[in-house]
Amino acid sequence: MITRPRTTQWLVIMLAAVLTAAPVLYAADQQQLVIYHWWTAGGERQAMQVIFDAFTKKNPSTKIVDNPVAGGGGITLKTVLLGMLAAKIPPDTFQSLSGAELKQYVDGNYVAPVDDVWKAQNLDANYPAVIGKMTTFKGQHYGIPMNAHRANWLFYNTKLFNELKLAPPTTVDEMIAAAKRIKSSKPNVAPIAIGTREKWPAVFLFDVTLLSTGGPDVYEKFYTGQLNVKTAPEVRAALQKFKDLIPYLYQFHGAKTWSDIAGPMAEGQMGMMVIGDFAAGLLVQAGYKEGVDWDAAGFPKKPQEVFLMIVDTFVRPTGAKHPEATTAWLTNLTDPKVQGEFNIVKGSIAIHKAVPDTTYPDKLHQEASRTFKSKRIVPSSIHGVLAPPAFLSDWQDILTRFLYSPDINRALDEISSAMELDKVSDSSGWYWAK
Amino acid sequence: MAYTRAHALLFLAPLLLIVLVMYGMMAWTVAVSLDDWVGMAPVWKFHGLENFRTLLGGALRERLFTSLRNNLIWLVVFIAPTTALGLFLAYGLDLVGRAERVLRPLFLYPIALSFVVSGTLWAWMYDPDAGVINNLFRTLGLGRWAQPWIADPHLATFCLVGAAVWQYTGFAMTLYLAAIRDMPREIFEAARVDGATDVQTFRHVVIPNVGHATMIVVAMLILVTLKVFDLVWVMTFGGPGISTEVLPFFMFVATFRQQFVGIGAAVSVLILILAVAVVVPYAWWSMRRLAA
């Protein structure tokens, strides 16, 4: 055995003791905020940093323990959270979507009301009423939303539309007419761009079809299970129109994701695509210019233009270890200045009414902000905002199958059976509660 | 120092713990499969075989049988080519001499890749427009062979199997190479003295002597086909429609995306029954053959 001088031995022991104790002492001394969210992609990560910076400035003694979990719409995060919540080790706050998605956590008693923050920040006046509705269950608010994405945009190739002297369509019928023109004059261009490898973009296209043929009331009723699918003429009509679109879709859509086809659309290999505002960020990043290579218009405009909305929300988990940090975090989210700065980076828009439309540097988001304040806001079906997530999963299977074998009667049977199995009507009662 | 029974027990204790946890979890899954657990929080509402009824004869019947059919396609289409290619490559490597050192790692690399990586790569290759496969056909003047691949509901599962064959051939090859190296060299020399060609040696000497490796390879590959998930998730997400869904994918979606936890557990139980029903008779049969 090698003999060491006594002092060295003592030094090693002391060092070990300090190293072991330091994190514990540090944690005990400092207030923490343990947070889980799914904003991991390029721009999202930086957007989150904007909130972190604002939070740290207001709460310098609270350390943010950040746990980002990648996966669009929080698919993976939900799986992680499920385990943590069931084991009763909740984080101090986590991300969810408003509406049916949030309701799952409320039903499991995993989140506590946030009425204190809601009232203190006067959100009833500062947020649109529909946002309040989408966070209210059993008469109490359960989430603090901070940004909205618009799902009903029609992106189109500017050069192609100028060359063929096409105006951006305002209804699905006009969309089909434009697609026909493109197909006859440019046989190599796919008139309507869509990528269904991840399935959900098919829902975006169906949603605008339903809004165009049935209007927002039918839309809300359909996704909350208030229509008898098998007999309601509105659903059949929407599916028929959806079927009419199929010959004009990019034929290999099953092999592509939405981000795969945004580039070809801007290049002019495809004509137009229905997708959320997040496509704008991707296009700009890839070097395609708004107004030069591509443009976007709210869609449809008739019978009524609406803002089809996806809302990101943070919650207060039941039994969170640092309740003051949670409250501080939620309060920080409602700050109009923070919302404005965050949303410029995130590519969505603020929901606080005090944030001016001119906050955003680009045309698309300025228009989104204007529409948000002036037009009817309808919760999007996507990501389980309006319909329960269980149905959304079945729904995207039904729609992508329909795109390959468009049998309307079979689709109606499938929808009706899925709505029953997924208890769409029962679990949507919250939306119609007064 | 002499080892006693107590030592043996001591060293086996960790394994015992793992086995206990595993069987405990299985029992828990079976219990969940008999409950009407929907949603995030546990709901222990016993309702017998209702979940299985929904799956086998109710609203989820078509979905279950689509998954089952696809698992069977995997079983039939995946195992034979992977095993055959693995054996063929192993014998080839045994023949090439020193070049083996370069070639063996090349064939082994695919298995070292994560399925998420290889799935993404293969999805690019299968791309009907920009993918390398169709473009290769077009360059060679075989444009009529170009296919929509994963965008075609009838072809997509076979495309996934293709990717898996590529990834698992190296695995089969390794086991076969070990088996061939295990054979006494005298047999090969005797065959050569008798004037057997390489093909004849392969047919009459190698194949009859690697039965035990075949048993292991096939049994492992059966399990792979029953639990295939990652490639489906990455390449097609079960689509187009539900045409490429397999049982584990269905189980995951039902449990974690739809939160039909009871139904998901019931699918798990069906997978377990299938695994036992397929693997146990196969192992029994091949062991008896080997003993004979």
User: What are the chain B neighbours of A400 within 8 Å (beta carbons)?
Assistant: 239-241
Cβ count near B257 (within 10 Å): 18
For testing the chain B interface, which of A421, A424, A426 should be mutated: the one with the most B CBs within 10 Å? Answer: A421
For testing the chain B interface, which of A111, A267, A397 should be mutated: the one with the most B CBs within 10 Å? Answer: A397
Structure tokens at A75: 């698919």
Task: Write down the pLDDT at residue A143.
Answer: 96
- Exposure class string for A59-90: b at 16+ Cβ within 10 A, else e: beebbbeeebbeeebbeebbebbbebbeeeeb
Subunit contact B59:A421, Cβ cutoff 8 A: yes
A70 in contact with B, Cβ within 8 Å: no
Closest residue in B to A394 (Cα) is: B258
Which amino acid type is present at position B280? V
Subunit contact A255:B128, Cβ cutoff 8 A: yes
How far apart are alpha carbons A104 and A428 in whole angstroms?
Answer: 11
How far apart are alpha carbons B226 and B235 in whole angstroms?
Answer: 18
Identify which of A108, A254, A400 has the shortest CB distance to residue B40.
A108
Per CATH, the number for B49-291 is 1.10.3720.10
User: What are the chain A neighbours of B152 within 8 Å (beta carbons)?
Assistant: 254
How far apart are alpha carbons A137 and A139 in whole angstroms?
Answer: 5
How far apart are alpha carbons B263 and A242 in whole angstroms?
Answer: 32
Tell me the domains of chain A and their CATH numbers: 11-147+312-355 (3.40.190.10), 153-308+380-432 (3.40.190.10)
The DSSP string of A85-105 is: HHTT---SEEEEETTHHHHHH
Which amino acid type is present at position A85? L
How far apart are alpha carbons A383 and A207 in whole angstroms?
Answer: 13
Share of chain B above pLDDT 90, in %: 63
The H or E element that residue A251 is part of is none
How distant, in Å, are the alpha carbons of A267, B50, B237 from that of B134? Answer: 22, 47, 22
Residues B62-112: tens digit of each pLDDT: 999 999 999 999 999 999 999 999 999 999 998 888 888 888 888 888 888
Residue A155 C-alpha from the chain's centroid: 18
pLDDT-wise least confident of A244-248, B32-36, B217-221, B288-292? B288-292
User: What are the chain B neighbours of A251 within 8 Å (beta carbons)?
Assistant: 128, 148, 151
Torsion sign (Cα): A405, A409, A410, A413: positive
ipTM of the complex, rounded to two decimals: 0.88
B236 in contact with A, Cβ within 8 Å: yes
Residues A10-25: tens digit of each pLDDT: 776 666 666 665 555 5
Cβ count near A239 (within 10 Å): 24
Closest residue in A to B122 (Cα) is: A255
User: What are the chain B neighbours of A418 within 8 Å (beta carbons)?
Assistant: 59
Which 3 state secondary structure label does DSSP give A39?
Answer: coil
For testing the chain A interface, which of B40, B135, B147 should be mutated: the one with the most A CBs within 10 Å? Answer: B40
Question: Which positions ≥6 away from B20 have C-beta within 8 Å?
Answer: none
Task: Write down the pLDDT at residue A27.
Answer: 52
Torsion sign (Cα): B262, B264, B270, B275: negative
User: What are the chain A neighbours of B42 within 8 Å (beta carbons)?
Assistant: 86
pTM reported for the whole predicted model? 0.88
C-alpha closest to that of B232 among B248, B209, B255, B256:
B248
Task: Write down the pLDDT at residue B99.
Answer: 86
Band of residue B285 on the pLDDT scale cut at 50, 70, 90: confident
Subunit contact B127:A255, Cβ cutoff 8 A: yes
What burial class does residue B208 get, using C-beta atoms within 10 Å of its C-beta: 0-12 exposed, 13-18 middle, 19+ buried? exposed
Task: Write down the pLDDT at residue A157.
Answer: 97
Residues B241-270: tens digit of each pLDDT: 999 999 999 999 999 888 899 999 999 999
B233 in contact with A, Cβ within 8 Å: no
Residue ranges of the domains in chain B?
A: 49-291
Task: Write down the pLDDT at residue A1.
Answer: 44
List A312's β-bridge partners, or say none.
A97, A147
User: What are the chain B neighbours of A256 within 8 Å (beta carbons)?
Assistant: 127
Which of the 8 DSSP states describes residue A309? E
Residues A40-82: tens digit of each pLDDT: 877 788 899 999 999 999 999 999 999 988 776 677 888 888 8
How distant, in Å, are the alpha carbons of A205, A395, B130, B134 from that of A260? Answer: 16, 23, 11, 17
Subunit contact A110:B40, Cβ cutoff 8 A: yes
User: What are the chain A neighbours of B59 within 8 Å (beta carbons)?
Assistant: 417-418, 420-421
Residues A307-336: tens digit of each pLDDT: 999 999 999 999 999 999 999 999 999 999
As a whole number of angstroms, the longest Cα–Cα distance in chain B is: 74
Phi, psi of A312 (to 5 degrees): -90, 140
How distant, in Å, are the alpha carbons of A168, A171, A227, A283, A427 from that of A424? Answer: 35, 28, 11, 36, 5
- pLDDT at position B292 over 80: no
pLDDT-wise least confident of A344-353, B8-17, B116-125, B136-145? B8-17
Once rounded to an integer, what is the mean pLDDT over residues B169-181?
A: 93
The one-digit pLDDT tens for each residue of chain A (434 residues) are 455 556 767 776 666 666 665 555 555 556 899 999 998 877 788 899 999 999 999 999 999 999 988 776 677 888 888 888 888 899 999 999 888 889 989 998 999 999 999 999 999 999 999 999 999 999 999 999 999 999 999 999 999 999 999 999 999 999 999 999 999 999 999 999 999 999 999 999 999 999 999 999 999 999 999 999 999 999 999 999 999 999 999 999 999 999 899 999 999 999 999 999 989 988 998 999 999 999 999 999 989 999 999 999 999 999 999 999 999 999 999 999 999 999 999 889 999 999 999 999 999 999 999 999 999 999 999 877 888 889 999 999 999 999 999 999 999 999 999 999 999 999 898 888 86
- Tally C-beta pairs within 8 A across A and B: 102
Q: In Å, how far is A255's CA from the nearest CA of chain B?
A: 5
Task: Write down the pLDDT at residue A21.
Answer: 59
Which 3 state secondary structure label does DSSP give B219?
Answer: helix
Identify which of A104, A397, A421 has the shortest CB distance to residue B40.
A104
For testing the chain A interface, which of B237, B250, B263 should be mutated: the one with the most A CBs within 10 Å? Answer: B237
Structure tokens at B22: 């595993």
Phi, psi of B197 (to 5 degrees): -80, 170
Task: Write down the pLDDT at residue A72.
Answer: 65
List A379's β-bridge partners, or say none.
A309
Chain B residues 19-48 within an 8 A CB cutoff of chain A: 39-42
